Amino acid sequence: MTTVYNFSAGPAVLPKEVLQQAAAEMLDWHGSGMSVMEMSHRGPEFISIYRAAERDLRELLAVPDNYRILFMQGGGLSMNAVIPMNLVGRKGPDATIDFIESGSWSGKSIREAARYAKVNVAASGQAGKFTGVPSQSEWRLTPDAAYLHLCTNETIDGVEIDFVPDVPAGVPVVADMSSHILSRQVDVSKYGLIFGGAQKNIGPAGVTVVIVRDDLIGHALPVCPSAFDFRNVADNESMYNTPPTYGIYIAGLVFQWLKQQGGVAALEQRNIDKARLLYAALDADDFYQNRVAPAYRSRMNIPFYLRDESNNEAFLAGAKARGLLQLKGHKSVGGMRASIYNAMPIEGVQALVDYLNEFAGR
């Protein structure tokens, strides 16, 4: 098999060791005679898989005891409705949700939340074409907002917010970390809720991780579907309805892999090195261009444009011939994008850098 490097934004590359272990255990998990896919979610085998995954994720992110980890379904987009339905009830029918609009995904969150509550866009990076966000002194925050929502890594725009915002006392911060969860250390205690679809840094599509502080559970609006009421999910160890069992199993293997690699701190250092290598090649001259302000450049999703866009097809064809896959940018913004999640080895980034230099005739 030829070596390929998959730069897809998601579903995305997974650690080879994880896929090999899953393959070895496919027909017979630990002598059970069954595939994980065939197990009852209520049986002792799957319960042990679930609890190990929960425990390992808690350890990796140092999740405090007063937070619950929920393995849900529906993806990041469903959370744009599920979170308002669960959180605004705490503040009553006139509650306002504050948003920071930093790119495409926070924009989608704003439009969906507006169906359930008043929304206030406290700051937007739109005027700067989503190359960063206005400085915090310019944010117009609501003093008693139900919560402040931000997307800490915009997968399409390549904008990463690496600080925890200052918010009025008592306002929970809700963060969509879909595309950079577990790539860097975070202080979970500074957030009310963190969520993310699994298909980038956690595992296969179909699992949605929610980390939520205890006091934010139990306020669901009557309209909230019971399977998405955090109270029901938390009280039933994510098994109020049948959870995405196989996805949780693979996520658990990824968590074990992360621990073997030295945990999030070790991965963060690797991610810094990988991103530095790639940005340096893009910045070497004006053949390529990443337009994001340096302070907001994502370590995970790196969009770039060729100076002469008539070369786009040739660039992609040459990349494919070298086993460098899925580099085409999101259709809404065009250009190219390299997603370099935890499971992308530095060798993959180096292979891309070599090709960037070759194609630019350097």
Residue 75 or residue 348: which is nearer to ligand PMP going by CB? 75
Contact at 8 Å (CB) between 235 and 197? Answer: no
Which tokens go with 246? Answer: 């196989």
Q: Which residues contact 225 (CB under 8 A, 6 or more apart)?
A: none
Q: Is 28 helix (H, G, I), strand (E, B) or coil?
A: coil
- Nearest approach in angstroms of CB 334 to ligand PMP is 17
Residue 178 or residue 290: which is nearer to ligand PMP going by CB? 178
- Known binding residue 20? Answer is no
DSSP secondary structure letters along 150-163: EESEETTTTEE--S
Taking the C-alpha atoms of residue 324 and residue 4, their distance in angstroms, rounded to an integer, is 6
- Known binding residue 42? Answer is yes
Contact at 8 Å (CB) between 200 and 10? Answer: yes
Which of the residues 176, 229, 257, 274 is marked catalytic? 176
Q: Is residue 151 involved in binding ligand PMP (CB under 6 A)?
A: yes
Binding mask 30-69 for ligand PMP (x = CB under 6 A): ----------------------------------------
Using CB under 6 A, which residues numbered 63 to 122 contact ligand PMP? Answer: 75-77, 105
Q: Has 139 been annotated as catalytic? A: no
Residue 19 or residue 77: which is nearer to ligand PMP going by CB? 77
Q: Is residue 197 involved in binding ligand PMP (CB under 6 A)?
A: yes
- Nearest approach in angstroms of CB 150 to ligand PMP is 11
Q: Which residues contact 277 (CB under 8 A, 6 or more apart)?
A: 346, 349, 350, 353
Instruction: Tell me, by CB under 6 A, how many residues bind ligand PMP.
Output: 11
Query: From the list 155, 238, 245, 339, which residue makes contact with ligand PMP (rule: CB under 6 A)?
Result: 155
Q: Has 187 been annotated as catalytic? A: no
Taking the C-alpha atoms of residue 285 and residue 343, their distance in angstroms, rounded to an integer, is 29
Question: What stretches of the chain show up as alpha helix (H) in DSSP?
Answer: 16-24, 44-60, 75-87, 104-113, 230-235, 245-260, 263-283, 312-321, 346-359
Which of the residues 29, 105, 139, 257 is marked catalytic? 105
Contact at 8 Å (CB) between 125 and 131? Answer: yes
Phi, psi of 21 (to 5 degrees): -65, -40
Using CB under 6 A, which residues numbered 165 to 184 contact ligand PMP? Answer: 176, 178-179
- Nearest approach in angstroms of CB 196 to ligand PMP is 7
Which of the residues 200, 229, 257, 274 is marked catalytic? 200
Taking the C-alpha atoms of residue 258 and residue 88, their distance in angstroms, rounded to an integer, is 35
Residues flagged as binding site: 42, 105, 155, 176, 199, 241-242
Residues flagged as binding site for pyridoxal 5'-phosphate: 105, 155, 176, 199, 241-242
**Which positions are annotated as active-site residues?**
105, 176, 200
The site for ligand PMP (CB under 6 A) is made up of 10, 75-77, 105, 151, 155, 176, 178-179, 197
